[in-house]
Amino acid sequence: MQPQIMVNSTQVSFFTFSAYFDTGLYKYLYFMIVLSLYISIICSNLLLIVVICMNRSLHEPMYMFLCSLFVNELYGSSGLFPFLLTQILSDIHTVSALFCFLQIFCVYSYGTIELLNLTVMSYDRYLAICCPLQYKTRMSYNKVAILIALTWLLVFLVNFFTMPLIIPSQLCGDIIKKVYCDYHSVVKLACYDTTVSNIYGLVITALSVFGPLTLILYTYMRILKVCFSGSKQTRQKAVSTCTPHLASLLNFSFGACFEILQSRFDMNSVPNMLRIFLSLYFLTCPPLFNPVMYGLKLSKISVICKNLFTNVGC
């Protein structure tokens, strides 16, 4: 067995992705499929952002939080798809170390902002259903703006200051066993004991995941309590506004949970194509799923979109 050579991170200028495999002429088919998905994500999310911003009837807290959610979908997918499209067509699957770290920042900030957006939306629904008479005063436009700004700024600041602490400073290799850069793949290349980095990572994950999930669980417990003791109209309002939110939460949670499990445990028994698909799930399916879900389930948005397409057709 040959001794492992220690390589300083400043000398690792490129990372190589080993999860890609030779697809021959099929790479053009994969390219078209991925490009179609990316165009669908861009068009659907951008459409709903424009609809919400241009219609004064949608300038309500729930829709402003949705707008923030759709902007995050564009941000997260743009951090992956252009890179993925380039790699599919390339014969050499490498990326610069700087871009790799930027992609890690983008992927993890997207995931955290997504969860915080869903948390704020659950709080908004809690106030609307459980405290309807106080809703306008407790969820004012200033408070909406502050919550959205804090969601984004807090995540960016935390990631900016913690990434230097958790990214290894010395690496013994440059092979990443995925189709994009992620934190755990880089940590596995470290030449030294990464216990401290893992502790930092676990603490940050616990705060950014379990904290929001606890608040979401609390709000839904209160909503269920009101629904069981409230009127039929209250139950209908809760179902119509909470169903798409719960569907978005479950969809995102499935992808995020698999990504965490795949990063922490050995998944070699899972077929390579399935691992690739599931690792991309939380970056692909929520941006595709959310605009369709909210566009169909929320009557105000669906009516405006139908009128828009009808006018365009005429």
Task: For domain 11-306, give the fold.
Answer: Rhopdopsin 7-helix transmembrane proteins (1.20.1070)
| Residue 64: predicted pLDDT | 94
What average pLDDT does the segment 22-43 reach? 89
In order of 80, 123, 142, 166, the CA distances from 197 in angstroms are 25, 33, 38, 5
Distance CA 50, CA 69 (A): 13
Question: Would the pLDDT of 201 be above 80?
Answer: no
Q: What confidence category does residue 4 fall into, taking pLDDT thresholds of 50, 70 and 90?
A: very low
In this structure, are residues 166 and 184 in contact, taking their beta carbons and an 8 Å threshold? no
Question: Would the pLDDT of 6 be above 80?
Answer: no
Q: Who contacts 27 (Cβ-Cβ below 8 Å, separation ≥6)?
A: 88, 89
Q: What are 176's strand-pairing partners? A: 17
Choice between 116 and 175, residue whose per-residue pLDDT is larger? 116
What average pLDDT does the segment 253-266 reach? 79
| Residue 207: predicted pLDDT | 80
In this structure, are residues 177 and 16 in contact, taking their beta carbons and an 8 Å threshold? no
**285-297 pLDDT tens trace:** 999 999 988 887 7
In this structure, are residues 280 and 76 in contact, taking their beta carbons and an 8 Å threshold? no
**58-111 pLDDT tens trace:** 889 999 999 999 999 999 999 999 999 999 888 888 888 889 989 999 998 999
**101-149 pLDDT tens trace:** 899 999 989 999 999 999 999 999 999 888 888 888 899 999 999 999 9
Question: Would the pLDDT of 210 be above 80?
Answer: yes
Q: What confidence category does residue 7 fall into, taking pLDDT thresholds of 50, 70 and 90?
A: very low
Tell me the whole-structure pTM to 2 decimals: 0.88
Closest to 44 (Cα-Cα) out of 246, 289, 215, 241:
289
Share of the chain above pLDDT 70, in %: 91
What average pLDDT does the segment 143-159 reach? 93
| Residue 149: predicted pLDDT | 95
In order of 125, 127, 130, 219, 235, the CA distances from 222 in angstroms are 10, 10, 7, 5, 13
Domain boundaries, the chain: 11-306
